[in-house]
A and B are shown apart, each in its own frame.
Chain A
Amino acid sequence: MKRFLPFSLFFVLVVLLFGCARIKYTTREKRVEIFEHGGRNVEFTVIGRKNFYLWGHFPKDSTVYLDEVVHQATGYFDPAEISIEDFQSFPQFLASFFSIGLYTPRSYRIKGYAIRPKQYDQ
């Protein structure tokens, strides 16, 4: 019992203090349609990363602005029918594992359709 008590207390403490990373996906300014109704002429994929520290406690909330991320990465605009994959790659997993969670990177992959500006065709 004496050996079990510290371990169970530690278990409760860890579970209570444990905070996995929180990533919110939204837009800042421009409208991003949920469903594609025609007019978008190019398919895109954007991969990004968010870094978290101390078991995901810092920063507690992290936001991905879909309109900004897509435009900055591809130059395309008016994205639609976006699918979001939230994942941890194997190297990121290893980084988390060997730092015991002090550094916890996560990635996101955004796929969808957008409008390619005409100057890109020239």
Chain B
Amino acid sequence: MKEHKGVYQNSTELMDLGGKPFYMNDFVDACLYGRLNLFLQGDTGSGKTQLAKDAMDYFQEKSMFILGRNDMDTRELFQQINLEKLRNGVSSQELKELTDKINYKLFVVDELPNSVPAVRAQLFNLFDGFIEINGKTYPIGDGYSVGIATGNIGQKFTESNNDLGRALKDRMHVTIDTDHFKPNSWDTFNILSTNTNPRVDFTKKSENGSLEKKVLEIHNKIVSEEIPFEKLVVANYLIHGLDYVNLDGKETTKTKLKDAWPNAITNHGMGSDESLVLSVSARAAKSILRLSQAFDYIAKDKGLTDDQVKENYFNSMMNAYKFVGAYSGVLNDLAVREIYGNDKYSAMDAVISTTKTQFDENAPKISAGLEMVNEGKKSKKVLDRFSGRWNFMKEFLERASEENKK
């Protein structure tokens, strides 16, 4: 955020939108604006904790830092968030009053994988704005809370039977492998020449004052804005289009194939996204849309005009898809290892390339389809243009034209 200069320095670009580069701190801002939980995966000492600490400066006393430890139990966690009275047997009403008083906006959990599962589950609940006590959920704060967690779990992300990996995929909306976007030599020269204290300084407070109000204003703006239709089509392609599979001429979906994917796709050409990636869930699609909206806000803040932002809707969605999708469990890990040198981001780039081709080819048909609906027509000639992975668009346009006739 322009108003806050954090300690973390990293000028390695993660993405580009309309010529505006996005860095690691922009991603943290985007997640805060979109209220998306962020997991910073990376090696020890790579700066993830400092990055999270910088985010805490936005909220100052309304942020909480928790260090993940395997000897921490839920009692200690509740003590940390001033809920120790819970252990003394309180009524539901008292409980509600207590939880209402918790007004943390940002929870930062350093080394989250060190926490035991019961504590981890409560931490995820805090990120999502509630706490679970005796099977009942109680909202905390006043509607905005978000979490940033750090950790280094490496390969465990790829083990489908791993509880931690699964929990992270379920509850963290965006995961960034910070090792992939390490600070460059310019940054490290600067960092090392000004400060040789290897610890993150939690005593130093930001001089800018709390930026909570600004973050919440941006968040409210982002969530209240109408989602551009172009982005909705992209999101639906990621949900339905990427689910489509053609097995020896038989059309089916990866969802129906269940565990048979990707092995059932035999002899398919190398590089095809049918065997490389699963479709995204509706929940992940929401995260992608939200993150893309936040990217657009930041791009505008960096100087893009409304028209330029509009021209980049597709790119914005693809970048959001890349960072929501890479560690969400949608990639075929074997293919990523064998074809992409275990680089999930490269694999996502390949899927994005194919998606771009798909949209380049189908955008004129889609625009014709939209016009067809607006004119109250239902043209077989137009609808028949959509087949295979674009069947979803045919279904939508058919339904929309029927609705318009009513």
A is bound by B: no
> Which residues from chain B sit less than 8 Å from chain A, CB to CB?
none
